[in-house]
Amino acid sequence: MIDQTIVDEVVATALREDAPWGDVTSEYLIPVDATAVATLRARESGVFAGAAAFEAAFTLTDPRVLVEFEIREGARFAAGDVLARVSGPARGILTGERIGLNFAQRMSGIATLTSEFVELIAGTTAVIADTRKTTPGLRAFERHAVVCGGGRNHRFSLSDAVMAKDNHLAVLTAGGKDLTTELARVRAELPHTMKLEVEVDRLEQIEPVLAAGVDIIMLDNFSPADLATGVALVAGRAIVEASGGVNRETVRAIAETGVDVISIGALTHSARALDLGLDVDITAGN
């Protein structure tokens, strides 16, 4: 679950962006005492995510608005299904509508895309994971959506784990320094609670990296054949992560090589927002 404090902070920022000096359309057109009931309905099938953000868009606008969900996060829905009902002051519902929909559509799109990849590798031992290729400021939301779709989360930030990629290794071994020696030094200096992951892009890099005692080795842009060879070389001495070149057509073959994790940046940077609609029925005030 996303921390509610984070949800409220991000959604409040979005609301201020959308109505910095108020919603002038609603204020001029809608009576102050008008009430409304709105229905969040799916216009296509998918997997639901974003309940907390959707609700906050209305309750932060007007605490008197009530949001009731007809579906739990992570559940599948079909076109035409009712996902939630919103009731209360009409102005509050109309002002929060766009922001609530934006979050629910975006997060449900990520959850749906993730679920597609998870289904494609069903029966293998691999898991689908996200990356740090997220929308700035929305990482917690997008990572939550990945979990709703059946995926796993990678490190949340640069502060969570040591992950040495090609550019790091180039600097680390500058001047002819030995890769294994330098990585072993890093491993020895890290607290026991912190993981060390190293990215390699050639089979011959695997043994020098493993000799340093790394926890995770990422095989980047390897062909399925080389991935299978890499998994055999690692032989259980570290978690094996595959990354690069992953799409709907290749993910099954990648999973069948025996890798433990398949990380996919597209889950968050290329997911399409789902088509969800909020149908509002305005009723006259007293």
Choosing from 220, 226, 256, 275, the catalytic residue is 220
Distance CA 276, CA 51 (A): 13
Catalytic residue flag (residue 116): no
Catalytic residue flag (residue 98): yes
Catalytic residue flag (residue 195): no
112 and 248 Cβ atoms separated by less than 8 Å: no
Sign of the four-CA dihedral 54, 60, 66, 72:
positive
Choosing from 165, 187, 195, 237, the catalytic residue is 165
Choosing from 85, 132, 133, 237, the catalytic residue is 133
Q: What letter represents residue 175's amino acid?
A: G
DSSP H/E element including 255:
helix 251-255
169 and 198 Cβ atoms separated by less than 8 Å: yes
Tokens of 73: 């996060």
Choosing from 55, 130, 199, 241, the catalytic residue is 199
SS3 123: coil
Distance CA 243, CA 221 (A): 6
CA dihedral 240, 245, 249, 250 (to 10 degrees): -30
Choosing from 70, 81, 85, 98, the catalytic residue is 98
Q: Which residue numbers are catalytic? A: 98, 133, 165, 199, 220
